[in-house]
Structure 1
Amino acid sequence: MKNASPKIVKFKSLSDIAVRFRSDLKDLDFVLLYAYNGTGKTRLSMEFKNRGKKDGAKGDTLYFNAYTEDLFHWDNDLEHDADRVLKINAESNFFNGFRELALEDKIFEYLQRYATFNFKIDYEEWEISFSKEIPNPAHRPGNDEPETIVQNNIKVSRGEENIFVWCIFLAICELVIDGAESYDWVKYIYIDDPISSLDDNNAIAVASDLSKLLQKGVGKVNVVISSHHHLFFNVICNELKKRKNKRYFLHKNGADGYTLRATDETPFFHHVALLSELKGLLPKDNQTIHDVQIKTYHFNMLRSIMEKTATFFGYDDFSSCIHGVDDEVLYARALNLLSHGKYSIYEPVEMGDDTKNLFIKILDAFLKKYEFELPEIITDEDKAAQK
């Protein structure tokens, strides 16, 4: 299965890539970027934003990235441990329309899709308090006590906080698209990795909701979306395929800058790139199975690739892509089981040697059956340069 070699362009700096994206968006609605963590996606989003502040301009980019979360910080009420609130950095342009436009309803419309807590914004103190319904320990069948009670001034989890900030961003995007005067300075929206700890179902929901919202802004605002999350990225690409867009794969080229690979003519290139990464896990001639650094989450990655391959060939199930092993049905069951564990790329767990052997046999047989032309995405020299 040979893939046409996509055009690769070298760049000395992320600033140069930001210039390229701004040039692309003169003729396009969307630029979609796939890149691994640690490549420089967040720094690229800031370079793009800073380009809009040249020559004393106040800026033209509404962005969401790791720095967006820094616009909020907790006051944990250390003295009384009772009134915990999330403080807002009101000096940021991000909050230009908060007081005048009262965003609670818009934020809650998004929040209720992903979470079960409530919130209240104090525009005088620029702080947010949270509450949640919890089971009432005093309730018993037949008594008059309510089944639930409201717990006020709670500190939500880190994941819930991230979702809340994301919903604020979606509400602001809606204002931008609707032409709110407070956000008339926005010409570009740049979104970098809204996904950090969501499961696959929520990743799909977030990608779908985002795509539907941004398509309402076509012709009003131009958008860059970058991600390392292959499922999120794939949904975004599918949802926006009828819009004018450009898709890229970004790679840090050791000490020599960066390469940008156009992937518009190579469907599922990011999955092929992922497969190239998995191939690099196979043991070398001088390695024992114990030396191979295979983590549990790699099963999730392999299953995802097989599912896309099965879809490409019109198979009903990914198990149809398992070939050349002793018991194909047994191996399919094993892969199905092992890819459904709570395996996170952020909390990697190394496999035992028996499980590593299973992974290697499935992957090696898959590579022999489906002859993908795998690009040299990350060489040993690149890995050393990135450490």
Structure 2
Amino acid sequence: MDLSQIAKQIKDASENIFLIYAFNSTGKTRLSVEYKEAARNTEGRQTGVYYNAFSEDLFIWDNEHIKLDIVSSSLNQYHSQLNELDVMEKLKPYNPKYDFLFNSHDNPEQGFVSISFFMKGDDSRQPIKISRGEERIFIWCFFLALIEVDSWTGEQNDYFFIDDPVSSMDDHNIFITAFTLMNLIENHYERKKIIITTHHIGLATILSDWLSKGEKAGKFKATRRGENNKYKISILEKIGDQYELSNPRNSVLLYHLRVLQILDTAIKEDSLEVYHLALLRQVLENIASFLGKGQFQYVLQQIGFTEETDRMANIINALTHQKVYYPQAGVMVPDNKQILIEVFDALMRKYHFVLQS
């Protein structure tokens, strides 16, 4: 199939949630464009909202004046319904080190022309340039705030197509974005089709686990015999000049080895933070699933923590719970650091994983 046929296949599918993993340069962004075309209504109008590389291209740095310019587009007409607090609310989980101001056009109907950034607490508001990673997070949060503007999404309310919002993000911010995407799914999947594509195997695995066997997975499962689940997890593969959406069970995704490499490096460099416990939990859950068990406590028992299983599991659960995770994402206290190191070492001894340097 070509990408236009893949787009039509997704559009016509009964599932409302599509999670698609693909290697870079496979065609994810082009698929988002093809989907936009496939989903137009009979009058040729767009029926949904998408976020991709083209969305990011609407923001360009003016290095001379140290501000982020916004390219004029059809979205500008909706800017007047946003304010800094709307976007800051979306940014809050990422703990930004800056404040910002929107610079409006003389004609309110033309929205914002740029954004100025300055350090938190700087009353002089001396302009600063934020990093590329911070910029990507800001644009993503700007988009998240914008999709809550009813006059925009009310007109285009059939779907969200989100292509790779995690480029240039570190592992901590990828976890935050995964939580954000799950909130988006939970809030909208019953009324809209939601398509998420990514080349980041970690993000794909986290969302896949949460959709298929997370705490709230039940709401995404089929409720009647013969009915499909409300989600579909696929891999976009290019074979020659053709494409197909394959079942991930037919491919080997060694995410656990990548996570173990990250943990190994953090331990050796003494740079462990709270989010590394969330990474460790992902490995434990993946191993438990592979062994046919539903709970990661089983793995703790298998690697030698037979008398301490409940205590270790409770600590890992507490520190990786969403409500605790946001405010405590920082340096790990020594006791918890020691627990992580002990579990990591026991995993390596039991299962003999080979980590490439």
Structure 1: how far apart are the matches of 2:233 and 2:132? 31
Contact 2:162 2:195 in 1 (8 A): yes
AA aligned opposite 2:117:
F
Structure 2: how far apart are the matches of 1:129 and 1:111? 16
Shift of 1:128: 0.9
AA aligned opposite 2:118:
S
**1:285-322: CA deviation from partner (whole Å, max 9, x where unpaired):** xxxxxxxxxxx9993499989645433233129978xx
Structure ID, larger Rg: 1
**1:332-377: CA deviation from partner (whole Å, max 9, x where unpaired):** 75997xxxxxxxxxxxxxxxxxxxxxxxx8449xxxxxxxxxxxxx
AA aligned opposite 2:69:
K
The answer as to 2:82 corresponding to 1:102 is yes
Match of 1:113 among 84, 89, 93: 93
The answer as to 2:235 corresponding to 1:249 is yes
Match of 2:137 in 1: 163
Contact 1:208 1:239 in 2 (8 A): no
Structure 1's 273 and 308: CA in aligned 2 closer, same or farther, altered over 3 A?
A: farther
Structure 1's 213 and 317: CA in aligned 2 closer, same or farther, altered over 3 A?
A: farther
Match of 2:72 among 90, 104, 114: 90
Match of 2:200 in 1: 229
The answer as to 2:146 corresponding to 1:210 is no
Structure 2: how far apart are the matches of 1:231 and 1:317? 26
Aligned to 2:188, the other structure's residue is in SS state coil
Aligned to 1:162, the other structure's residue is in SS state helix
Match of 2:153 in 1: 183
Contact 2:48 2:153 in 1 (8 A): no
Q: Give the unaligned 5+ runs of structure 2.
A: 107-112, 212-216, 221-229, 265-278, 292-297, 305-340
Calculate the TM-score normalised by the size of structure 2.
Answer: 0.66
Shift of 1:204: 1.5
AA aligned opposite 1:16:
Q
Match of 2:253 among 255, 262, 274: 274
Match of 2:245 in 1: 260
**1:157-216: CA deviation from partner (whole Å, max 9, x where unpaired):** 1111101000011112233xxxx1233222211011111132222211211122113321
Contact 1:174 1:213 in 2 (8 A): no
Higher helix share: 2
Shift of 1:254: 2.6
Shift of 1:259: 2.3
Say how many residue pairs are matched. 272
AA aligned opposite 1:103:
N
**1:35-77: CA deviation from partner (whole Å, max 9, x where unpaired):** 2222111111111112234765231231111111101112222
Aligned to 2:57, the other structure's residue is in SS state helix
Contact 2:22 2:199 in 1 (8 A): yes
AA aligned opposite 2:246:
R
Greater RCO, 1 or 2 (C-alpha within 8 Å, sep 6+): 1
Contact 1:207 1:236 in 2 (8 A): yes
Aligned to 2:117, the other structure's residue is in SS state strand
Q: Give % identity.
A: 31
